[in-house]
Chains A and B, each alone.
Chain A
């Protein structure tokens, strides 16, 4: 047995996450963590997704039984302090709201945007990568647990054309191919305008193949300009600050990059997968 065979293997999701962090850190984005158990406030309300709004349907949610709630509140988790540091208007109310907020498994990494902006002054550039959960039936392309990467840039003059630049840079480095972006109108309550981002197929370059399902394009990311309401929620004046945010599925990126055909393989602890990497 030679040395190579004695080596262990790093999980493909870890590889994707590391590479993602490398690319974004070169562009000045810091990696920030957030809790997997979130409050309804951070996962929804603060992101401009109010209760009883149809937008909630876009995120099928696992709710936690209340028993765990009182316990959680008295500990140091969540790791990022939820209280606002600037003592803005309506603080008492929002604190109360946060405390009474129901607990859930975060459905996206977007709450990290809020947690970070509450405690850090712009200009800022962050990404966050982590496990997320959706209450949905599993199949080859859907898992109830998966990973997301989230990015946020807030600056005096951030604009949509900057977003285009950052995202294209990322995908070109990630897939190691020349990439074109295609933005389509979409809707996420925490951004406005909101877009869906497709990349030109890294495999066929747009000539149509099985990877892009014969379309030449691959849907990879949701993005947009940070909604003024979200900025207000963290005490920033939308007149002074603009931002853009984006989010993508890590699992999907790994599946595309390595040609893995079933998302569930990532979580079965199966070395027949890991040991190929």
Chain B
């Protein structure tokens, strides 16, 4: 929600701390201020109001009440001065008929006649614009102001567009019928159904209750007489309806988060005062308040003891401190048993405070989480249970890694399988994988492209993860091998067999792959370990190197890599490393990998023997695609340097 700093300031006599400090205080004690920015001579905060704070904080007054509690400073009841306006005798009368008081818990209506529709005064426009709202006209703006000031959505209808009988205008709050449709204020036509609660007049739907007004009785330039609505609708109804119709509004957001029906009347009074200030004509008459409110809300009380508070927080907060916090939060309370117990009356607005723990949270956040000291937990009460599955997964991981296999995690989502999602993230990711082998195959193909970059002649990988088939989820293990053309060893299938035999020996269990073809094999991991004993500790699956070596990721370059081979004859006694270090030094940091791929000794006619070392060099930049020219230059430098040694000769 957008919050204006200046708007908040209007609730206080005292100057508030600067915007940055205020953002920090709110974040540490109330809710997260995700960002704030300067807006003329104002600042606008973007607050992340989660459902527990949404009952009272989707409004400037609610936020001001938080500031009042955090800073322990008094606040005014409104950010504007409001005047009482006398009620007169209107020519029309309002009648409200609510069909279900579970869905519409309160409906406050009022007629005001002979208003003057015009642009709002500057202060009102400024307020709305400060939080990104577009001013429309004085009535609509006043309604919006009330919503952003105290959190009560308001609505106004043009009275003269409605049917009346003998001067009585009937407003019904009822479920729509299947044939109904409505054109909303933004011109969209919406088909209604029996599950949609509407505000209607005769046969005409005027608004989708609590969500969006219709254009039938829209306030316009020619409007003279108006009906103002300040109502309270059931949160789950509004949530369901707005989701079903896909209409999310500032109003629906407040209702679905639930607001107290107690607000409705206060909001009507505020609205009336604003109408009289901004739209008063010569003969403006304020009608009686029509208030449908069959089940008045009773304020709840929570009994809590000092002990309960300190036990849950692990603190030593004193009775007097708790009292002070309640005062700052503006909670009425009684102290009992000499300060040991409290009976706290919960303000209507604070629908989030239902149980003791809720109240303890209030105390904790105003007291300050930073003041809560650490307390050690007792040493282990009972020995941990060893997770057999976890143990063997990691034992197998270690084994495979020792044998040259690298671990991959592939996607659970795929385009075929047995279990399908109702709402896939993409049309080719609509199923849960029914095997690991497809993912392994993809990964093998992918990595083979990078074999030189990786310095590998074989891609050897494995994955352990859940698959979804035969109506259940099961842990599977898959391994895969793919040889590059340069690889001179045995076939993939033979190697799978070898590793399988070795693993079988290591685990002391027989391994029968469920699938094994073309260098990919997979098996039900749960069955594999079924007969194995549960270990007594995790001792032998520790990762070595975790603590000793600080691993740091080096960014993967998005640019292509370039290969160059270089071979050099060197006199006997010169080692591979001697050649390699010169190459490394001269090639610079664009050289990302190098591999010796050929060594042989040749006898020359002069009787000397020389060794040939052939390296494959891989070049890649983090910043750009390397050109041949650039690489050629580097290679020249390398060759020159190698040739500069006595008896060395680049072939």
* Interface residues of A, Cβ cutoff 8 Å to B: 1, 5-15, 18-19, 21-22, 25, 27-33, 35-37, 51-55, 58, 62-65, 67-68, 71-72, 74-77, 105, 123, 125, 131, 133, 135, 137-138, 144-145, 153, 155, 157-162, 164-166, 168, 176, 182-187, 189, 192-196, 225, 227-228, 242, 258-261, 265-277
Contact = CB atoms under 8 A, between A and B. Distances in A.
B532 interface: no
Given A5-B455, A160-B364, A62 B357 contact: no
Contacts of A9: 401, 406-407
B459 A271 contact: yes
9 contacts: A36-B466, A135-B425, A153-B377, A162-B376, A165-B374, A165-B377, A176-B547, A184-B28, A267-B411
Nearest to B313: A160
Interface of B: 27-32, 50-54, 235-236, 239-240, 256-257, 311-315, 355-358, 360-361, 364-365, 369-370, 372-382, 384-387, 389-390, 394, 397-398, 400-413, 418-425, 429, 432, 439-440, 442-443, 446-447, 450, 453-456, 459-461, 463, 465-466, 468, 470-474, 538, 541-543, 546-547, 551-556, 595-596
A77 to B, nearest CB: 4
Given A13-B409, A32-B387, A168-B374, A273 B556 contact: yes
A25 to B, nearest CB: 5
Contact of A8 (B360, B373, B401, B465): B401
Contact of B311 (A55, A242, A271): A242
A161 B466 contact: no
A133 to B, nearest CB: 7
Contact of B387 (A5, A31, A63, A227): A31
A269 B443 contact: yes
A52 B239 contact: yes
Question: Which has the most chain A C-beta neighbours within 10 Å: B402, B406, B420, B541?
Answer: B406
A31 B390 contact: yes
Contact of A75 (B361, B377, B409, B472): B472
A30 B386 CA distance: 7
A67 B412 CA distance: 19
Contact of A33 (B315, B365, B390, B453): B390
Given A54-B51, A273-B556, 16 more contacts: A14-B407, A25-B384, A30-B387, A52-B236, A75-B470, A77-B472, A105-B432, A131-B412, A164-B375, A182-B28, A187-B51, A187-B52, A192-B355, A225-B357, A269-B440, A270-B447
A138 B397 CA distance: 28
Contacts of A189: 51
B406 A275 contact: yes
Given A8-B460, A9-B407, A68-B420, A28 B381 contact: yes
A33 B389 contact: yes
A36 B27 CA distance: 34
B360 A193 contact: yes
A184 B52 CA distance: 14
A74 B411 contact: no
Given A160-B364, A193-B365, A274-B408, A258 B51 contact: no
Nearest to B243: A52
A242 B554 CA distance: 44
A19 B365 CA distance: 32
Contacts of B370: 182-183
Contacts of A18: 394, 541-543, 546
A160 B473 contact: no
A117 to B, nearest CB: 15
B385 A30 contact: yes
Nearest to A238: B357
Nearest to A158: B377
Contacts of B398: 10
A33 B432 CA distance: 19
Contacts of A182: 28, 369-370
A275 B357 contact: no
Contacts of A157: 311
A62 B538 contact: no
A11 B357 CA distance: 41
Question: Which has the most chain A C-beta neighbours within 10 Å: B257, B315, B453, B543?
Answer: B543
B411 A165 contact: no
A204 B551 CA distance: 18
A64 B390 contact: no
Contacts of B596: 1
B372 A272 contact: no
Question: Which has the most chain A C-beta neighbours within 10 Å: B30, B53, B447?
Answer: B447
A161 B375 contact: yes
Contact of A272 (B376, B465, B466, B556): B556
B75 to A, nearest CB: 20
Nearest to B49: A187
B553 to A, nearest CB: 5
Contacts of B403: 8
A254 B258 CA distance: 39
A77 B419 CA distance: 14
B375 A15 contact: no
Contacts of B376: 162, 165
Contact of B312 (A225, A269, A277): A225
A276 B549 CA distance: 12
Task: Please name the 4 residue pairs, one residue from A and one from B, whose CB atoms are nearest each other, closest first.
Answer: A161-B314, A269-B443, A71-B471, A159-B314
B422 A133 contact: no
Contacts of B360: 192-193
Nearest to B430: A65
A242 B180 CA distance: 52
A271 B454 contact: yes
Given A258-B551, A273-B556, A159 B425 contact: no
A249 to B, nearest CB: 15
A189 B357 CA distance: 12
A184 B372 CA distance: 12
B442 A269 contact: yes
Nearest to B542: A22
Nearest to B375: A161
Nearest to B554: A276
Given A8-B460, A64-B422, A144-B413, A274 B407 contact: yes
Nearest to A161: B314
Nearest to B240: A52
A159 B365 contact: no
Contacts of A77: 471-474
Given A28-B384, A135-B425, A161-B375, A271 B408 contact: yes
Contacts of B365: 185, 193
Contacts of B408: 11, 269-271, 274
Given A28-B379, A64-B419, A159-B314, A10 B31 contact: no
A105 B442 CA distance: 24
B423 A135 contact: yes
Contacts of A28: 377, 379-382, 384
A276 to B, nearest CB: 6
B256 to A, nearest CB: 5
A123 B543 CA distance: 30
B54 A54 contact: yes
A267 B357 contact: no
A176 B550 CA distance: 10
B532 to A, nearest CB: 16
